[in-house]
């Protein structure tokens, strides 16, 4: 018997990053801001599940004091609960600041923008939903029991290429790790790791029995019930 292992049930201490329970190192938060040497503002926005070739609609506000985007993360697997729709909004608090121009890029479930302000410390005991989601699950973890008894698990690890994910089984726990390299103007790479399921079985469980689907910064597991 395999059971899901939601992040909230695993720890009595603080999450390193409340935006994602599997993030163990690197920049925290659904968004990252960085002032570049030329005075532009660089932003990293996590949109896990959004394809690299997605049509991202980024538009300026009427007063030119910010931008907003509209983009869909399609339902890639039949066991996903639904598609996800994101609508990130980025505005300047400075009354004199305006956006003169911007560029955008999507890669492995991360939207990166270059515009022309701060990075909060995001460590705490309560996980936050992704504020850019306006349809679908805003949390980094999702699981469901399938009709055949298998466990389906979705884990967001934005920025991680499909060849940087690993899944391991040890001591009755299924663990997922991922390494997200620094891309473009990212301040640093990010490292994710965490247990996603408990195995309640006396049978030696083989890693190869777990089906993994990796795409656009999201890893999906189908763990059979023995």
157-187 pLDDT, tens digit per residue, is: 999 999 999 999 888 889 999 999 999 999 8
Model confidence, pTM: 0.69
- Which pLDDT does position 11 carry in this prediction? 59
One-character DSSP codes across 34-99: EE-TTS-EEEEEE-TT--TT---EEEE-TTSSEEEEEEEE---STTSS--EEE--EEE--STT---
Q: Is the pLDDT of residue 26 over 70?
A: yes
Q: Is the pLDDT of residue 114 over 50?
A: yes
- Which pLDDT does position 115 carry in this prediction? 85
3 vs 95, higher pLDDT = 3
- Which pLDDT does position 170 carry in this prediction? 85
């Amino acid at each position: 018997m395999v059971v899901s292992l939601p992040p909230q049930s695993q720890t009595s201490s603080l999450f390193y990053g409340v935006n994602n329970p599997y993030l163990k190192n690197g920049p925290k938060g659904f968004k990252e801001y960085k002032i570049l040497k030329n005075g532009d503002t660089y932003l990293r926005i996590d949109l896990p599940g959004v394809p690299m070739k997605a049509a991202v609609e980024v538009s300026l506000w009427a007063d030119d004091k910010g931008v907003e985007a509209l983009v869909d993360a399609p339902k890639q697997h039949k066991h996903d609960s639904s598609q996800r729709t994101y609508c990130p909004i980025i505005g300047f608090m400075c009354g004199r600041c305006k956006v003169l121009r911007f560029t955008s890029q999507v890669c492995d479930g991360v939207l990166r923008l270059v515009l022309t302000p701060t990075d909060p410390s995001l460590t705490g005991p309560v996980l936050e939903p992704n504020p850019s989601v306006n349809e679908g699950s805003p949390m980094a973890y999702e699981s469901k029991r399938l009709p055949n008894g298998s466990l389906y698990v979705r884990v967001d690890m934005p920025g991680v290429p499909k060849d940087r994910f690993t899944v391991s089984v040890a001591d009755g726990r299924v663990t997922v790790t991922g390494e997200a390299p620094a891309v473009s103007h990212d301040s640093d790479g990010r490292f994710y790791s965490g247990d996603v399921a408990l195995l309640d079985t006396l049978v030696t469980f083989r890693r190869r029995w777990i089906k993994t689907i990796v795409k656009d910064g999201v890893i999906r597991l189908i763990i059979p019930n023995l």
